[in-house]
Amino acid sequence: MTDQPALTHIRADGSAHMVDVSDKAVTSRRATAQAVVITRPDVVDAVIAGDLPKGEAISTARIAGILGAKQTSSLIPLCHPLPLSKVSIDISGDGDRLTVLATVATTAVTGVEMEALTGASVAALTLYDMIKAVDKFAVITDILVLDKVGGKSGDWSRS
């Protein structure tokens, strides 16, 4: 059996709590996450062209993703509120897939992986909302952290 790191959000009695990060060093931190919307190729083409019945989906999803990243600590109970210095949401289409990439940066005492995941998820949910009238079978999948930079545990990349 390998040694697993202790869960920092769990007390000895098993109850959840918000981790005390007051003694951690302030460092630059960045994380990138993705979400994928699978739909029909003609719907992807319509999204890229801005021709959906509900309007221009990419700019709407981009703004929604930025707002989502900024609200992470209000949505995820044990996340610390962070001063975000950058949130970028990029959306690309290929075949039957729309890929959302959310990159979030801060200079703080804890990382921004959850903010990147939330930004990517909210942008994907917004795309879904805008395409559901033309494809009720669309699916959101592959929500994951691609990489992170900074912090005590150092840099990490999925690739």
Is residue 48 domain-resident?
A: yes
Total number of domains in the chain:
1
Residues contacting residue 94 through CB under 8 Å, at least 6 positions apart: 44
Statement: residue 18 has pLDDT above 60 = yes
Is residue 158 domain-resident?
A: no
pLDDT score recorded for residue 10? 66
Is residue 132 domain-resident?
A: yes
Is residue 72 domain-resident?
A: yes
Is residue 32 domain-resident?
A: no
Instruction: Give the residue with greater pLDDT, 2 vs 134.
Output: 134
**Residues with active-site annotation:** 129
Digit-coded pLDDT (tens) for 75-122: 999 899 999 999 999 999 999 999 999 999 999 999 899 999 999 999
Is residue 68 domain-resident?
A: yes
Is residue 7 domain-resident?
A: no
The residue range of the domain holding 85 is: 42-149
Digit-coded pLDDT (tens) for 23-67: 788 999 999 999 999 999 999 999 999 999 999 999 999 999 999
Is residue 33 domain-resident?
A: no
Instruction: Give the residue with greater pLDDT, 6 vs 134.
Output: 134
Cα separation, 28 vs 43, in Å, equals 39
The pLDDT confidence band at residue 1, using thresholds 50, 70 and 90, is very low
**CATH number, residue 95:** 3.30.70.640
For the whole prediction, is pTM greater than 0.85?
yes
pLDDT score recorded for residue 127? 98
Statement: residue 157 has pLDDT above 90 = yes
